Amino acid sequence: MTSTQDPTPPTRPLIYDLYDQPVSGAEIERRSFAAIDAEADRSGFTNAQWQVVRRLIHTTADFSLAEQIRFSDDAFSSCAAALQRGATIYADSNMIRSGLSVARLQQIHPGYQRDSILCHVADTDVAVQAKDSGLPRSLFAVRKAAAQLDGSIILIGNAPVALLEINRLILEQGLRPALVIGMPVGFVHVLESKEELQTTGVPYIVIDGRRGGSPLAVACLHALCGLVGD
């Protein structure tokens, strides 16, 4: 019979072990990456691809993500050129906009600022259009930014409808982003939005299936920044 009693608390809080033997945040990250390298099967990935895959595993502690990540052949070269010229960045959620490290971006191009990362999903006019039409705000947020998306880096971590609209702009209006990070999460429109993106001919990094999320989209771009900065 399993006991329901709470475990006996330690006589000395464990944080004191860290106080006694300090480890910096950078060292914790280094050790984490070393653990991932030791445990994961990185066969089948180029060095550049593995830097992205490892960062996503680090974000989630989920090794099975490696089986679902897809890269177009031109994803890295196109993204590197875009970052180096200070290309527009579009985010489908304010979580992505807030989570992106401007300091990392500025190491590649000094012109990057928080306000220069586009995200219109919370704009008043977008909310009005969504209410009037009965369609998601993410659709109208993409449409509002459409004129600025040629050559841009697009991060979709929340809204599959945003990715569907990006795909439509590519297929019908000739939009050519430098990279689409397609990682929306959920159960409706998710699978087809990712599958369609991979047929459009534009550079992409995708997590197949239902999994995704804004933290993964952010981690992906951070990994790409590290590759460009090396």
Q: What are the pLDDT digits (tens) for 137-177?
A: 999 999 999 999 999 999 999 999 999 999 999 999 999 99
Asked whether residue 87 is assigned to any structural domain, the reply reads yes
64-114 confidence digits (pLDDT tens) = 999 999 999 999 999 999 999 999 999 999 999 999 999 999 999 999 999
Measure the CA–CA gap between 105 and 101, rounded to whole angstroms: 7
Which residues are paired to 90 by β-bridges?
Answer: 118, 154
Asked whether residue 141 is assigned to any structural domain, the reply reads yes
Which residues are paired to 117 by β-bridges?
Answer: 89
200-213 confidence digits (pLDDT tens) = 999 999 999 999 99
Asked whether residue 5 is assigned to any structural domain, the reply reads no
Asked whether residue 138 is assigned to any structural domain, the reply reads yes
Q: Kindly report whether the global pTM for this prediction surpasses the value 0.95.
A: no
| Domain range for 128 | 66-229
CATH classification at residue 144: 3.40.50.10230
Among 58, 109, 189, 222, the one annotated catalytic: 58
CA 105 from centre of chain: 14
Asked whether residue 146 is assigned to any structural domain, the reply reads yes
* Assigned token pair, 149: 């998306």
Is residue 58 flagged as an active site residue?
yes
113-125 confidence digits (pLDDT tens) = 998 899 999 999 9
Residues 128, 138 contacting (CB under 8 angstroms)? no
Looking at the chain, how many residues does it have? 230
Domain count, the chain: 1
Asked whether residue 12 is assigned to any structural domain, the reply reads no
R_g (Cα) of the chain, nearest Å: 20
Which residues are paired to 89 by β-bridges?
Answer: 117, 153
Pairing of strands 204-207, 69-71: antiparallel
DSSP 9: P
DSSP 2: -
Measure the CA–CA gap between 92 and 145, rounded to whole angstroms: 11
Whether the pLDDT of residue 9 is over 80: the answer is no
Asked whether residue 74 is assigned to any structural domain, the reply reads yes
DSSP 154: E
Asked whether residue 59 is assigned to any structural domain, the reply reads no
